[in-house]
Structure 1
């Protein structure tokens, strides 16, 4: 299935009331005539500027659940989100980019010039009562080439890093506002003796989730036994900061976070630090810049040494 069809099917589900992205509780993400447009007299229709053009924060308080399913506290999730007039467009663009960039683009068909055989004219041009044929590999006959078939191509498209981060934070904030996000305390100790999928399913039920419903677990890291306990459940996605993606966020019915994951989200997608963009290369660019500076300093030193030697030779000749 192509990326466009998959994304279109997923985006159609965003308009349903059961979606965490667009629901009655997250109506603040939907453009409304009262919030984005100003009434003007008839005959003076002008382009109005949205009052919510700037980015704004969507703070939500999430309940913290214990492994037994009891509420033991609350935690704040304060993320930057897109304004209501552009939220859908930002999320749609990021989703299409993610799905399309995953296409390998290796599909290939043979044209009539590439199909083996067909070099001899099958029968004479005239006096047969049939249509004239120059080759048996014509696209009009079985075994022939393909007209305008797919060829290897690059499907990747570009999206700004800040725009992609804004789409992820907008989707997370929408789910939090819609009461579809929960925080679960660290439960690695419960599986210290070994992985048990049965206990993991029982915990999901205590947390109010049907194991058949799609859910996403996000943590900074998963213990081996926890990961092995949840990998056999096909409806569960267990993500880390390295694998966090927009598609799994939108595709999940409920989102579960660990306390450390909440701290990570607030520090990376929070309203106060969103503009302080940190590069994803973990200092690789800084290392390259330092190497370039060292090369420039070495080059400057070499030039200075050459100039001194030239001056010395000129003084000796004189």
Structure 2
């Protein structure tokens, strides 16, 4: 993937803090660059401690509600949990690296000299030629030969706990809200009831104070088909639903706007109630727990089979 496709100022701010999203000058949950040096390297690359997942705090932020014409009609509270400043940067960084690395297909492959076709015959004699000694035309030192230490198909997937990933998303959303980069728009599906019109959608963005040339994220619980068709041709706009919500698009956007139903979803999903349902576990993914259960079941089956075999052997000896 080219560097230009991922070199957004908001993403680079995780290491340089160049934008207002993660800068120390704005009121944000993420710590200042000076405090990032105090984080141990293991907190980013290794397994997070239990204190990172339990030391949460809820922050309520008031977002303005505007209508389709751009007039403010009220306010709504975004009350979601965010990581404390001492661990917020590490949690967001780890989740972002995990998402980007897990997106790699890992299908790059090259042929070694043993896999390249041909090269079984020695091209010329060992001596009396004045040339270098060659045992095969498929040597890596000649064009058309094999590749030394080339890439082979591999799995780049790395693991992140479910709690930690949810915490990173809620921290990024809360930070954007505190930085005054978010607002709420009333439902406007009826405005596009007659059909999709990208021109009207761009005009609406301008009335809402958004520059169509800057990256923005629109989050809604349900996307009307005409609204989706009207906004999909805007290259700087990401239209997300609960199924497609991800950390990369949140950090990559300069502005975020939601529908009232989306705010209710975020409050229920990433608020106090949403995290309480995972209080009983230790932050591990369900996959690992299922693997342990399958292993225990396998051991039980093996023990039963051994007992049956012992019983049969004793019966044979008695007979």
Instruction: Give TM-score, length-normalised by structure 2.
Output: 0.76
Aligned length: 264
Q: Which residue of 2 aligns with 1:12?
A: 12
Deviation readout 1:106-159 (Å, 9 max, x if unpaired) = 111000001111111111112222211111111111111101111111111111
Q: Which residue of 1 aligns with 2:178?
A: 177
Change in CA separation of 1:32 and 1:156 when aligned onto 2, cut-off 3 Å: closer
Please list, as runs of the form range in 1=range in 2, the aligned pairs for 1:8-157 lying within 5 A after superposition: 11-14=11-14, 15-22=16-23, 24-30=25-31, 54-157=55-158
C-alpha contact 1:217 1:237 (8 A) present in aligned 2: yes
Q: Distance between the aligned counterparts of 2:139 and 2:33, measured in 1? A: 56
Q: Which residue of 1 aligns with 2:43?
A: none
Q: Is the partner of 2:272 in helix, strand or coil?
A: coil
C-alpha contact 1:69 1:206 (8 A) present in aligned 2: yes
Q: Distance between the aligned counterparts of 1:62 and 1:17, measured in 2? A: 24
How large is the RMSD of aligned CA atoms in angstroms? 2.7
Q: Which residue of 2 aligns with 1:210?
A: 211
User: What is the CA distance between 1:32 and its match in structure 2?
Assistant: 8.6
C-alpha contact 1:22 1:174 (8 A) present in aligned 2: no
Q: Distance between the aligned counterparts of 2:210 and 2:34, measured in 1? A: 36
Q: Distance between the aligned counterparts of 2:8 and 2:214, measured in 1? A: 21
User: What is the CA distance between 1:238 and its match in structure 2?
Assistant: 0.5
Alignment gaps of 5+ in structure 1: 38-49, 279-284, 290-318
Q: Distance between the aligned counterparts of 1:188 and 1:139, measured in 2? A: 61
Change in CA separation of 1:257 and 1:120 when aligned onto 2, cut-off 3 Å: same
C-alpha contact 1:136 1:144 (8 A) present in aligned 2: yes
C-alpha contact 1:78 1:266 (8 A) present in aligned 2: yes
C-alpha contact 1:61 1:74 (8 A) present in aligned 2: yes
User: What is the CA distance between 1:274 and its match in structure 2?
Assistant: 1.7
Q: Is the partner of 2:26 in helix, strand or coil?
A: helix
Q: Which residue of 2 aligns with 1:240?
A: 241
User: What is the CA distance between 1:81 and its match in structure 2?
Assistant: 0.7
C-alpha contact 1:7 1:99 (8 A) present in aligned 2: no
Tell me which moved more, 61-70 or 18-27: 18-27
Q: Is the partner of 1:24 in helix, strand or coil?
A: coil
C-alpha contact 2:11 2:252 (8 A) present in aligned 1: no
Q: Which residue of 2 aligns with 1:276?
A: 277
Query: Which structure would you say has the larger Rg?
Result: 1
Q: Which residue of 2 aligns with 1:199?
A: 200
Instruction: Give TM-score, length-normalised by structure 1.
Output: 0.77
Q: Distance between the aligned counterparts of 1:82 and 1:164, measured in 2? A: 11
C-alpha contact 1:21 1:250 (8 A) present in aligned 2: no
Deviation readout 1:197-245 (Å, 9 max, x if unpaired) = 1110000001111101110000000111111110111111100000000
Q: Distance between the aligned counterparts of 1:135 and 1:276, measured in 2? A: 64
Deviation readout 1:33-84 (Å, 9 max, x if unpaired) = 89xx9xxxxxxxxxxxx9xx82222221110111111111111101111111
